[in-house]
Chains A and B, each alone.
Chain A
Amino acid sequence: MIFTVKKRDGREMPFNIEKISDAIIKAFRASGELSEQIKASQDQLDLLGHEDLLTSTALKVSAYAVGRLEAEGKNKPDIEEIQDAVEKALTECGYGVTAKSYILYRAERTRVREVNTRLMHTLRDITFSSAKESDLKRENANIDGDTAMGTMLKYGSESAKHFYTMMMLKPEHSRAHMEGDIHIHDLDFYSLTMTCCQIDLIKLFKNGFNTGHGHLREPKDIRSYAALAAIAIQSNQNDQHGGQSVPNFDYAMADGVRITYRKAYLSNMVKALMLFTGKDEEEILPLVKKLHAEMAEMGMVATLVPNEKFVEAEARELSKTYEIEMVMKSQKFAEKQAFEETDKATFQAMEAFVHNLNSMHSRAGAQTPFSSINYGMCTEPEAQLVMKNLLLTTEEGLGGGETAIFPIQIFRVKEGVNLNPGDPNYDLFKLACRVSAKRLFPNFSFQDAPYNLQYYKPGHPETEISYMGCRTRVIGNNYDPSREISYGRGNLSFTSINLPRIAIKMKSVDLFFKELDRMLQLVSDQLMERFAVQSKRKVKNFPFLMGQGVWIDSDKLGWEDTVGEVIKHGTLSIGFIGLAETLVMLTGKHHGESEASQELGLKIISHMREFCDKESKRLGLNFSLLATPAEGLSGRFVRMDKKKFGNIPGVTDRDYYTNSFHVPVYYKISAFKKLSLEAPYHALTNAGHISYVELDGDPSQNLEAFEKIVHHMAKVGIGYGSINHPVDRDPVCGFVGVIGDVCPRCGRSEGHAISLEKIEELRKKFPGMPAFRGIR
């Protein structure tokens, strides 16, 4: 006799035959097999009701199954054994159709259980392992997986991914994602929001804005301009899953400098007049203030680079009250003082801005906002002052001399503006190179690349090319060609294709393109599915992004309106990874090694771009091709492909697939050749791209070479590029530069200690040395 059963978790429970018959009843209901028999029997006898017959039949089958178990001597059966017996009992009692539906039901339960178990395993991993051990916790390096909030964010993110793959995605999209044919990025935010946005600070600051907990007035000083810029980035970051960027940092901050200078000039003018005339403040201040206000109404204001119109008019008016000589002396003094004060205030503002962006938190405190700023082409003196000071504070580093991780700075390069000697912002370009050679930022974007230049209208900064730091680029607009601008727009979502897998599976070039087409269509459909979900969201779901009018045209919507129409200005992007491995698979060589491979590479990427353009036309939206950043994705596809197809030399034999269209990082090639080979792909990947080269040693010692590379980028048509070099730091003595095995400043090797005496000796030589923890 059976008295106990063994549950899945190993516990023994009293046996209850009703549990078996309940499951069988469910199976009968699902198959509908018995209802036909019930109908037949009702016609004949009309004795038993539907439920009675169901129950009695189920009990009969259960008893049969139990009999089977007992005959096999299984007196303490486990769940699997019972289910096997039920399956057989159903078949042997003549209920074949129901047996089938029971098997399906069992399989479905197993699947749900496995998913739940996997989720539990994932959550356990998040809970009990440190980021050092858990790759999952380092998926996005910008999130500190060891902190409470980082862990909480990870719980939410992993659970949401499970939910969406099971409940919301179309099965074919879910399968393609789970099996690694494609990767749906930011799946945890699938139904919630869009990727990123270029925030027009000038528009946002006009009349102030609201962060949800109070109104912030229009800023009146460069320091508050910079502070509000950081707050705007932080607030918007909480409404989207990607990064935030400012397309017009130079233009926007210049407004703040103007106001600061005007105020500084006024107060210094008053001070000087007091000193030179001996009159007191009560007399002078109201007089000058009134005069400045009246002049402002006529369009005459004090400017960083003094303008004659203002200076002459001011002198003329003031000389009615004071001696002209005194007035002119006061003007000279005020100009000099105001400039110095404004310069200093601007430096402090930029310093605080960088510090803020590296210390403020978003997303439940788990993340530093992913921030980027674009600048470089505004030639007004106020903007030049902003850029100079921003670069200088970046060069200096954070409080302890650390390299600032945020914001990602993007210096916009253009001939005639800053690239060559004699250009108005050439000195800033030189400074940008010097700072980048030390601190890795700024990166460089290239306005003159033909595919960027085609949108540029002089005098319209909104048509200048802007990148998100990660590389995302939004400028063309098929939905509304009259709005081909970067301001207020961004990516909606993107999904990447596992290119190497297609090559591994198809082997021949012809078949490759066939399968690629199928994959492109699948991704396009998936992006549209997600777009439909995103479109139903309302303004109130994005209190800052939409509620404060940051996103293009969202200021025309009400709180309860859906955002479907305005987000059509955004892009739906198809990404890819591993062109190099794909080419090795198809031709035996990657594009760094062979011209024929480069030709095929360009053919593949052109083909993908043409598909995007075709979809844009067909659907009236903005489909674009992305050279995916793939931080988290770099290892995922290759891990799966290695398992599936084994170790294929040059294809699956490393722990990562080569980023986008890059020439493999391990391949020896000159910087110039690498950039020349990669540049044509920039023209094709209209959703974003980046190329970088690795320099040996400390490029600060060879700025000429550094600048030569940037010039080469401009020449060959790179859209967005940067130069990598090692930036090391010894936290004990604060040295920043290249550190081999031994710190060049204090002479200690990794992990070793130095004496307090040595530290104090060094501090005499390097007074700026940060205080290492524990040293008084």
Chain B
Amino acid sequence: MSEKEKSQYGEGVGFERIRRITGYLVGTIDRFNNAKRAEVNDRVKHGV
């Protein structure tokens, strides 16, 4: 195995997920308070 194959990056790094909070954005969901997190979880998609 070459050095490049061996050196691994991204262990423990999550994906950033940005959602609109009330009218604005605040960055990733981990900044949301508990209630807003629950609300985001419950959001269903609206068909067009």
Residues of B within 8 A of A334 (CB): none
Q: A631–B36 contact, CB under 8 A?
A: yes
Measured CA separation A470–B24 after assembly (Å): 6
Return the contact of A656 from the options B6, B9, B23, B35 (Cβ within 8 A). B35
Report how many residues on chain B are interfacial, defined by Cβ distance under 8 Å.
42
Known contacts A634-B35, A692-B20, A728-B18; A141/B26 CB under 8 A: yes
Contact B2 A757 (CB under 8 A): yes
**Of A402, A655, A670, A772, which is in contact with the most chain B CB atoms at under 10 Å from its CB?**
A655
Confirm or deny: A720 has a beta carbon within 8 angstroms of a beta carbon on chain B.
yes
Contact of B44 among A634, A666, A672 (CB under 8 A): A666
Give min CB distance, B20 to chain A, whole Å.
5
Q: Which of B5, B22, B25, B44 contacts A690 (CB 8 A)?
A: B22
Output the least CB separation between B42 and chain A (Å): 4
- Cα distance A753–B6 when bound, in Å? 11
User: Is A690 a contact partner of B23 (Cβ separation < 8 A)?
Assistant: yes
Closest Cβ of chain B: how far from A98's Cβ, in Å?
48
Q: Which residue of chain A has its CB nearest to the CB of B33?
A: A138
Bound state CA distance, A142 and B38, in angstroms?
A: 18
A671 close to B35 (CB less than 8 A): no
Q: Are A405 and B15 within 8 A (Cβ)?
A: no
- Chain A interface, DSSP helix/strand/loop, else mixed: loop
* Beta-carbon contacts under 8 Å, A56-106 to B: none
**A44: Cβ under 8 A from any B Cβ:** no
A631 and B11 contact, CB distance less than 8 A: no
Whether A656 lies near B11 (C-beta < 8 A) is: no
Number of chain A residues close to chain B: CB under 8 A: 75
Check A751–B12 contact: CB distance below 8 A. Answer: yes
Is A141 a contact partner of B46 (Cβ separation < 8 A)?
Answer: no
Contact B25 A441 (CB under 8 A): yes
- Closest A residue to B27 by beta carbon equals A405
A218-239 vs B, Cβ < 8 Å mask (1 yes, 0 no): 0000000000000000000000
Q: For residue A267, give the distance in angstroms from its CB to the closest CB of chain B.
A: 40
* Contact mask for chain A residues 612-644; partner B; CB cutoff 8 A; 1 contact, 0 none: 000000000000000001111011101000000
A694 near B34 with CB under 8 A, answer: no
Question: Nearest chain-B residue to A672 (Cβ)?
Answer: B48
Question: Distance in Å from the Cβ of A738 to the closest Cβ of chain B?
Answer: 10
Q: Is A693 an interface residue (CB 8 A)?
A: yes
Whether B15 and A729, one on each chain, are in contact in the complex, defined by CB atoms closer than 8 angstroms, is yes
Q: Is the CB of A138 within 8 A of B9?
A: no
Contact with B along A316-348 (1 / 0, CB 8 A): 000000000000000000000000000000000
A732 touches B48 (CB 8 A): no
Q: In the bound complex, what is the Cα–Cα distance between A757 and B45 (angstroms)?
A: 38
Please give, as numbers and ranges, the residues of chain B lying within 8 Å of A659 by CB-CB distance: 22, 39
Contacts of B38 in A (CB 8 A): 635, 654-656
B25, A708: Cβ atoms under 8 Å? Answer: no
Which A residues are CB-close (under 8 A) to B4?
Answer: 755-757, 760
B33 touches A694 (CB 8 A): no
Q: Pick the contact of B15 from A443, A730, A772, A774 — CB < 8 Å?
A: A730
Q: In the bound complex, what is the Cα–Cα distance between A772 and B45 (angstroms)?
A: 33
Across the interface, do A755 and B44 meet the contact criterion of CB distance under 8 Å?
no
C-alpha spacing A562/B34, complex, angstroms: 41
Is A665 located at the chain interface by the 8 A CB criterion? yes
The verdict on A132 contacting chain B, using a C-beta distance below 8 Å, is yes
Evaluate whether A695 and B15 lie within 8 angstroms (CB atoms) in the complex, with A440-B20, A654-B38 already known.
Answer: no
Q: Given A135-B33, A665-B42, A757-B4, answer yes or no on A731-B25 (Cβ-Cβ < 8 Å).
A: no
> Is A739 an interface residue when CB atoms closer than 8 A count as contact?
yes
Starting from the known contacts A694-B46, A743-B15, 11 additional A-B residue pairs (CB-CB under 8 Å) come to: A132-B30, A138-B31, A141-B21, A635-B35, A635-B38, A656-B35, A667-B44, A668-B44, A669-B46, A722-B20, A755-B9
